[in-house]
Structures are given as C-alpha cells and as structure tokens.
Amino acid sequence: MLKVFLQYLHREGLTRRNLSPFIEPPRQYRHADIPRSITWGEVERLLDSIDRRSPVGKRDYAILLLLVTYGLRAREVAALRLDDIDWKHERVHVPGRKAGHSTTFPLSPVVGQAVVDYLWEARPTTSERALFLHGMAPFTSVTHGAISQVARRAIRKAGIEVLHPGSHTLRHTCVQRLVDAHISLKTIGDYMGHRTAVATGVYAKIDIEALREVALGDGEEVL
C-alpha cells in the first residue's frame, strides 16, 4: 500500500522522485504458517451440534463428514454427483481433483449412512444430478462457497476457536489425524490429492513427536 501511495505522489507531481522502489516488502518464508486444524474431540462436538432433524441439518452433517473423513476440498464436495456414489461396491468417486486426477475412496459406513439419510429424507425431489442441493427453491446444486460456509457456520456454532474457520479447517484436521497415525507423507499426499510432495511437506511441522526425535542427541530422552 505504501508503494502504491508513493507512486501516486510521484504521478501527481507531489514528489520529484518515485520513492516506491526503495520500499522493501517484508520477507515471506515458505511454510511459515502452521496448518490450522482442530482436535478430534472438537470434531465430535462439531458434529453433535448439527440439528439432524431438519433437512438442512441432514445435508450439512453429510457434508461435514465428507470434509473431515476424506479431507476433500470444498469444490470437490460441491462437484459430487449422485453417480459418484457406488453403493454396490461401497465406494465414493471424487473426479477432477486439483492435481488433475480422480480418486476413489472406500465408502465409510458412517458417511454412507449420513448420505442415505439425506437422500431419502431431506434431498428435494428434482432431476438435478448434483449430490447436494440448496435447501430452498429452485433447489440448485450448492457451490464451493456454500460448502465453506456450512463448515464455517458449524465451527462457530460449536464454539470452536480457530483462525479462519472453514472447509480447509476440516481438511487440515483430516491430515493431522493421518500424521498422528504415522502414515507416510507420500501416502498422505496421494490421499489428499496433492500435486507434488512440496504441498504435503508443510504437514511435517505438525508431527510434534517426530520433530522431538529429530531434535534429540545421542542418549537423550524426551522428558
């Protein structure tokens, strides 16, 4: 902002020299931030806060389970269609991921039951093939922004404190759970649909126990 202001002053003839090139931007480091996630206890509290008696509640509950179970992006959930759920083989197909490929996951019984409850008891009757629809007419498919809003609203309703709550909070929480289970970063990257290993590398910082072992010298123990 300061650079733009100095450029403006020079352009208007208020300064003889353009001083904007002398403003150095703050240095930014790759992976300086820690991925934002919540504990599994908070996830349970989040899911318990959803009113599953209402049609919208049934839809939101299924959406949240997909986000936190498979670590899907908001746009991936929004793009799901009825044909992407293979009930016969108990699989869920996620097409067109960010890395340019598709992924097929085993359909978790909990996720499957939540989707069934939504389809049978809450989803509007329409020819639309998108899996999740808006709760009000004309019952169009939800957007990725709507998916993020569902997660953001649920996190705040549950009273969970996290910086910038949204769908990515649940995606990071899924990764945290995989890291805690000592799954390799390569496997996690494939599971999350990352394009490169660099995208997964940021999660190495949240494996606290592994980082403690790296910091230990010969003969030292964690206190």
Instruction: Give the residue numbers annotated as catalytic, written as ranges.
Output: 73, 98, 168, 171, 194, 203
How far from chain centre, in Å, is Cα 179? 16
d(CA 55, CA 36): 30
User: What one-character DSSP code corresponds to residue 130?
Assistant: B
For 83, the token pair is: 């044909």
How many whole angstroms separate alpha carbon 98 and alpha carbon 34? 21
Helices first, then strands: H and E counts in the chain? 10, 3
Helix or strand run (H / E) with residue 106 = strand 103-106
